[in-house]
Amino acid sequence: MKGLIFSIKKYAIHDGPGIRVTVFMKGCPLDCWWCHNPEGKELAVRMVERIDRVGDKEFRSQEQVGHEYTPEEILSKIEADRVFMEHSGGGVTFSGGEPLMQPVFLRETLALLKDSGFHTTVDTSGYARREILQSVMPVTDLFLYDIKHTDPEVHRKFTGVSNELIISNLDMLLSEGKDVMIRIPVIPGVSADAVYMEQLRGFIESRNNGHIKEINLLPYHKTGSSKYRRFGLDDRMLSVSQVSNGHLDDYIEILKPLGIHVKKGG
Amino acid sequence: MRLREQSLNATETITAERAQLITRFYSSREAQGLSAPVLRARTFEYLLRNKAICINEGELIVGERGPAPKATPTYPEISLHSIQDLEILDSREKVYFKVSDEVKKIYSEEIIPYWKGRSNRDRIMERMTPEWLAAYKAGIFTEFQEQRAPGHTVLGYKMFRTGFLDLKKEIAAAAAALDFRNDPQAYERGEELKAMDIACDAIIMYAGRHAEKIESMASEEKDPARKAELKKMAAVCRRVPAHAPETFHEMLQHYWFIHLGVVTELNPWDSFNPGRLDQHLWPVYKKEVEGGTLSPDSAYELLGCFWVKFNNHPSPPKMGVTAQESNTYTDFCLINLGGVKPDGTDAVNPMSYILLDVIQDMRILQPSSMVQVSRKNPDSFVHKALDIIKTGFGQPSVFNTEAIIQELLRQGKSIIDARNGGASGCVETGAFGTECYWLTGYFNLVKILEVTLNNGFDPRTGVQVGPKTGDPSTFSTFEEFMLAYREQVSYFADVKIRGNNVIEKTFAIHLPVPFLSLLLEDCIANGKDYNAGGARYNTTYIQGVGLGSITDILTSIRFNIYERKRFTWNEMLSALKNNFEGAEQMQYDMIYNTPKYGNDDDYADAQAVSVFEFFHDAVSGKPTPRGGIHRINMLPTTSHVYFGNVTGATPDGRKAWVPLSEGISPFQGVDRQGPTAVIKSASKIDHLRTGGTLLNQKFSPEFFEDEGSYQKLTALIRSYFSLDGHHIQFNVVNAETLRDAQKHPELYRDLIVRVAGYSDYFNDLGEDLQNEIIRRTEHQDF
């Protein structure tokens, strides 16, 4: 059993509590315009050109994006940073891509990590068959759950899929008593406006059963554009500007009455 | 704050006052025929009797080493500046000292004629073997005592509770107990005690001269508020340091007179240091504030005045190699906060927080500051320190109390002396008030590798500096190569140690320090000088430099030559000789496709452990003449730049003359896995068998801004410390700021960055060091 991983990042401090290691898994069923990890989209190994410099000389080489790991190999990578997790209340986070795209590997790896005493988090779009989500629930301590938009049509336009499955999965997680942090991409022209934030507040309010531990506002950053170029992908966000800090503060104010902690970034 | 501005605006100058006084005294009749300690004590007394008394406008704590702030004296008995040296000091762009024509005139007419050939530097160089001189010139090691006296020592508890009149009683008792019948050294002890007694009288007299001057200023002062201040200051100088200090004000002034005494007697490395300042000040502060004799505001003002005093005292002018290994005005006075009490309990107190506020508000180069973090200290203490660290000022640095204590215990200190210890200078462990620990020089682990590659020959100076350990291409295994390298490390360690033992003797015989000896237990009881082994504990350090670089170099040889067989020895040696001209592909593979230290990769880190063990075994445990033991440290100050400057291209892909890695940090930019991996790599060596290691971690400011970031950084620190890491410091700057500072230095006069074990004004760094810091800043987004 192997999983296809495109990056393992240490000292990850924005993907759940404490100091974490985040495992980025390949493959994603969504096609979000603002995706900042486009290399995670396809569930396949890809070669891209890497350019390194030594003085004024450039060296070009082929870099493999996507490597296979067994659950045991993942465990040994995570094990190396155990001391930091224990001191900070951290753990491991699976992100992507969409980790639920590789369900058997994910479940097995989570189970192995939980057995070894690690706190486990899955960062998901929620777009997966209900049984798949159910299969990882017992071995996942926390879900980072993206709500990209509450309106099905807007959702379809900017991510390529409807949000019905996502919302029903969220409701299932909450009703099963799983802890969830809701993550809101704040995208100009999509979700970065006060009217939408009020609508969102209503959406969360109706589900607030004490298991929504935190709301993270993830402002759009232009960090993805160079990756788009490198992977020869079309960047649909070229004309979009970044979200100002002042606006974020306004949105936090709007969400405050929920009584759930709202945080900028992860 | 006005005093702070005065201090920032003062120009560093050379004053000939001390040189002139000492020359006059040494040539006087009075000075002839005295024993060495008594001669030095009389000299000390003469200096304090005749030097100008300087009281600055508005200050509350008084006393300057020179006749004005930043007027810096010279120490011709240690090292004599030529006229050309003075001209270099005057005209150099960074870390300059302005020299007036008057000073040059005094030098050429009085100082140089008397001291030429008679300084201790001359004495040392004359006594070193050809092997030592060749290694020194090749840049294999530096020599700390070449231009400065041994110091690296810190005031302990006792002297914050003792006056010099009390010490005189101790001296009298020790003198009375001398046994001239059975103790063959009784005469020497008697002379030393006589000298100590003279030094006590001298410092009391010196304080009295300040009191007189302040009293006369008070009588002329029109402003009633200042008049009252002056009267109080005079009263303080009448009491301390003769008597044990009883008030907060007296405590600070008491220390400051002691500090001035030490830096006037000689020019010891790391000036002098009040050590555990929060521990010393808190009880008296609490008593006075509760008793209504001191307001928190006036205490805070006194602390500000105290801080400025340190900043008014740049490190004595350094030349040549010494200037390059420690290229800074900083004189390494390191204030320790936090840690544990003598009974082992949490020592953080409200004064720890007050002093952190002072550090934040003053934002000046000197004194340096650090926090000792024990597992018993609260996180809020670390968070307060992070508040200051995040501003990019490079202070305070962060130390592991438990590691310090274990290092000291391993060296045979008592548990109480260990708990009363801390770190001084950059990162050096010491038992405060009881230990004489000399640093003797940096040791270039990378240059020794270059020499090994060349069968003992140094390509730069063209000299056979080391033993012939064989042409590397004849070694059939990596292990054989490592044996050759090990042999070279041992050889140069032996050369250095032999030199150290001779140099140590020159100080014991010719340059005793009776004043400094008063401050360190048990010099009085032993009737023995600080420089001759009088202190309770004696340690001599050699500081290893370039651990990151040497690890990457050895890993590259193991990986590229012996395992992957990517290239042969001859290909590699010829590429190194040509500084990778035409061998860029090889250089690229060395840099990008070879395992590196700092990534928690056991393959690479194994070489770090081997080198550490070689170096440790070559040095640690060797005895010294003053009854001490040689031990190792891993810290560079700025010597990694100098050592890079003398070292050709290396198998890690580093081009010739580029700086080496600093401390135990990875080479710039090669750590690609973030701070947890760096910490894991750095903790594979055994810190507890050193007297200090230095790990520099660069962070962009964003790491400090997010909610929860303090908890995570605190956890990162505590994790490192649970792995026995000795010290970690954070550089928080972005490259853009630094580049702008290079372009517009005038706008960044107060920009302080962490260099290596200390902070410095960015403007005062050489361009190469500035560039290096910019480069390493750019790599922080791993």
Between the two ends of chain A, the Cα-to-Cα distance in Å is 31
Q: Is B428 a catalytic residue?
A: yes
Asked whether this complex has an ipTM greater than 0.90, the answer is yes
Does B591 contact A at CB distance below 8 Å? yes
Which residues 627-656 on chain B approach chain A with CB closer than 8 angstroms?
A: 653
Contact (CB<8Å) A87/B722: yes
Query: Nearest CA of chain A to the CA of B357: how many Å?
Result: 27
Token pair 């002018």 is found at B317
- Region label for B527, one of left (φ > 0), alpha (ψ between -120 and 50) or beta (otherwise): left
Q: Is B407 a catalytic residue?
A: no
Q: What is the mean pLDDT of each run of 10 residues along chain B (782 residues)?
A: 88 97 98 98 98 97 97 98 95 93 98 97 97 98 96 95 98 98 97 98 98 98 97 98 98 98 96 96 98 98 97 92 85 96 98 97 93 98 95 90 98 98 96 97 98 98 98 97 98 98 97 98 98 97 98 98 97 98 96 96 98 98 96 94 97 96 90 91 98 88 81 97 97 82 74 66 79 70 40
3-state secondary structure of B438: strand
Nearest chain A Cα to B582, which residue?
A57
User: Is a pLDDT exceeding 60 seen at residue A223?
Assistant: no
Q: What tokens does B423 get?
A: 């770190």
Q: Which of B45, B288, B325, B428 is flagged as catalytic?
A: B428
- By C-alpha distance, which of B691, B643, B417 is closest to B541? B691
pLDDT at B782: 37
Euclidean distance between CA atoms B21 and B23, whole angstroms: 5
Sheet holding B629-633, edge to edge: B435-444, B537-545, B629-633
Per-state percent for chain B, helix, strand, coil, to nearest 5: 55, 10, 35
**Is A243 or B663 the better-scoring residue by pLDDT?**
B663
Contact residues, chain A, for B707 at CB < 8 Å? 263-264
A-B contacts (CB, under 8 Å): 69
Residues in chain B: 782
User: Is a pLDDT exceeding 90 seen at residue A54?
Assistant: no
Does B585 contact A at CB distance below 8 Å? yes
pLDDT at B399: 98
Query: Nearest CA of chain B to the CA of A67: how many Å?
Result: 17
pLDDT at B481: 98
Euclidean distance between CA atoms B205 and B164, whole angstroms: 11
Query: Nearest CA of chain B to the CA of A249: how many Å?
Result: 14
- By C-alpha distance, which of B321, B337, B206 is closest to B274? B337
Maximal CA-CA distance, chain B: 85
Q: Is residue B266 a contact partner of residue B145, using CB atoms and an 8 Å limit?
A: no
pLDDT at B29: 97
pLDDT at B389: 93
pLDDT at B755: 67
What residue ranges define each of the domains in chain A, with the CATH number in brackets?
3-264 (3.20.20.70)
Contact residues, chain B, for A265 at CB < 8 Å? 706
Nearest chain A Cα to B711, which residue?
A88
Q: Which of B54, B237, B305, B426 is flagged as catalytic?
A: B426
Nearest chain A Cα to B703, which residue?
A13
Contact (CB<8Å) A57/B703: no
Residues in chain A: 266
